[in-house]
Amino acid sequence: MSKDILSLMGKNVCMKRHSALSSKTKTPASILGKAGATLVEELKGWDISLDCISDMPPKIQNDQESFKVAGFDLDGTLILTKSGSTFPKHERDWKWFDTNTIRKLQELASQDYLIVVFSNQGGFPVKSTSKRFLQFVTKWNEIRRQLEELDSNFQDRIFMIAAPKVNLEEPPKYRKPEIGMWNYFLERVQVPCSSPKDAKNIDLSSSFFVGDAAGRKTDFSDSDKAFAQTIGIQFQTPETFFRK
Ligand SMILES: [Mg+2]
């Protein structure tokens, strides 16, 4: 078996860190090679395929009868660039959307919400040579680490699901406004259902999604709003959620 990341990803192999990489014969370096050591390190805990990447465990346990989901977009919603540019210049080019952001997230965590980020990341493909791929994974790891260090309530409660750049000929089922990322999430919380509205152990009336693509005059799109509407959960803009 070839051990470079391109051949691995070319076969669309799903890399489940907790299982595959715990094997003595398949260390991160042996799978991705020396050149990808930094990337491999940053990908600990991530589940990787060409059209969807996630930082969340394969199974989510829950003490409650049903899950309440606080969904967020990432860029322009949870965070902004520090530099003020549309796209981050490097992995440290981010700041919280508002001074309230962390406090609001803490409130949600203390109320037993699962905090799930659903993010379109069309700026990079899943590829070992993509700097932006590495930057994105590194940035998210740092964001999650900061939150978990601040408040243990965030542990096993804050997750990332992202849709990277894919071949345009493929239907973009994971990209918002499509709800492939939500369906991926449902699989992880073990909800066999044909429609999001039939998901028995998701409390849809308490769940919501916050995003900056809301179809307002200056918005580039309404994909966040449409995403929430298709799922059947409340939608809010980041301005309303964090600043009012
Ligand atoms: Mg956004």
Q: Following DSSP, what letter does each residue of 162-183 receive, concatenated?
A: EEE---TTS--TTSTTS-HHHH
How many whole angstroms from 37 Cα to the centroid of ligand 1? 30
Query: Are 209 and 71 spatial neighbours (Cβ–Cβ below 8 Å)?
Result: yes
pLDDT at 237: 98
Q: Is the dihedral of CA 89, 95, 188, 204 positive or negative?
A: negative
How many whole angstroms from 32 Cα to the centroid of ligand 1? 31
pLDDT at 192: 65
pLDDT at 39: 86
pLDDT at 114: 95
Place of tokens 């070992």: 128
How many whole angstroms from 153 Cα to the centroid of ligand 1? 25
Pairwise CA distance, residues 102 & 150, whole Å: 9
How many whole angstroms from 79 Cα to the centroid of ligand 1? 9
Pairwise CA distance, residues 170 & 239, whole Å: 34
Domains of the chain (ranges plus CATH)? 53-243 (3.40.50.1000)
How many whole angstroms from 160 Cα to the centroid of ligand 1? 14
The dihedral over CA atoms of 75, 77, 79, 85, expressed in degrees to the nearest 10, equals 50
Backbone angles phi, psi at 234, to 5 degrees: -65, 150
Predicted TM-score (pTM) of the model is: 0.85
Please give the chain's pLDDT, 244 residues, in tens: 333 443 444 333 333 333 333 333 344 444 344 447 888 889 988 998 888 999 998 888 766 678 999 999 999 999 999 999 988 999 999 999 999 999 999 999 999 999 999 999 999 988 888 889 999 999 999 999 999 999 999 998 999 999 999 877 677 899 999 999 999 999 888 766 677 777 778 899 999 999 999 999 999 999 999 999 999 999 999 999 999 8
How many whole angstroms from 214 Cα to the centroid of ligand 1? 9
